[in-house]
Amino acid sequence: MPKSSAPRLSVRKTFKLYIGGAFPRSESGRTYLVDGDNVALASRKDARDAVVAARKAQPKWAAATAYNRGQVVYRVAEMVEARRSEFKALGTAGDEVNAAIDRLVWYAGWSDKIAQVAGNANPVSGPFFNLSSPEPTGVVGVIAPPSLLGLVSVVAPVIVTGNTVVVVSGGPQVAVTLAEVLATSDVPGGVVNILTGHAAEIAPWLASHDDVNGLDLTGVDDPALAVELEQAAAGTLKRVRRAGTTDFTADPGLAPMTAFLETKTVWHPKGF
């Protein structure tokens, strides 16, 4: 093609939502500017669509072997490693990218071990086996911190234990870039759904939604909003995790994983 003397206009990126493995715009058509970038502004209809996608994906994801879920989370770590320059271009420090990758690998390693730590054989009187085994809660709404390490630290423990998530992110560029990683990391569509927008607008709909089983409020920095969400979640007996001020560089322990596990206890007669 002949060279043109006219200046070339670059293609501006719109940071879209991530629902059911696809990247739709908000059904409302709304957008907002974040540091000069055009970002889709999620609505309550988008939140409902994300919950439907998460619920549809949850049974198959929970039925996968724990080892397989660990492999998938490890694959996410590989892809973040490969695309570290994109996260750094968004202002994420190299040390934080390293920590996020290490955190993903750490949780991947726990995938087939958490059941042995959180479950056990209970001593009972009588000719029975009594076994307690952890099972995923289901669909979890996550109000995520804006940083990459914070986002990974609240999403990874929820999905590695067999839950699916609907994430409301305060750091849209980082969150959507992570969504692009997830879309190429063998994570089934619907396991992770990411909504960009304002937590005060979207989170109350997740808190009161009958088909959401748990709520992680780690990214909520307004105490009044946190109380409002806890009260809304009580109407459907959701599990609620309110971590408060969190140092994401510290050892997270097992609490982020066990927060959204339920214990099933089985009695079985002993054979003779």
Q: Are 211 and 50 in contact (CB under 8 A)?
A: no
In this model, does residue 102 exceed pLDDT 80? yes
Q: What is the pLDDT of residue 99?
A: 97
The strand pairing partners of 132, in sequence order, are 120, 265
What are the tens digits of pLDDT across the range 46-72?
A: 999 999 999 999 999 999 999 999 999
Q: What is the pLDDT of residue 121?
A: 80
Which region among 84-88, 90-94, 131-135 has the lowest average model confidence (pLDDT)?
Answer: 131-135
Both tokens of residue 171?
A: 């750091």
Mean pLDDT throughout 234-263? 90
Mean pLDDT throughout 2-17? 81
Residue with tokens 């009044």: 224
In this model, does residue 1 exceed pLDDT 70? no
Q: Are 106 and 114 in contact (CB under 8 A)?
A: no
CA distance 112 to 66: 5
Both tokens of residue 198?
A: 């304002």
Residue with tokens 């009580």: 234
- How many angstroms separate the Cα of 260 from the Cα of each of 13, 87, 92? 35, 29, 29
CA 239 to chain centroid: 15
Instruction: Please report the domains of the chain, with CATH numbers, ordered by start residue.
Output: 14-269 (3.40.605.10)
CA distance 228 to 176: 27
- The three state secondary structure string of 93-107 is CHHHHHHHHHHHHHH
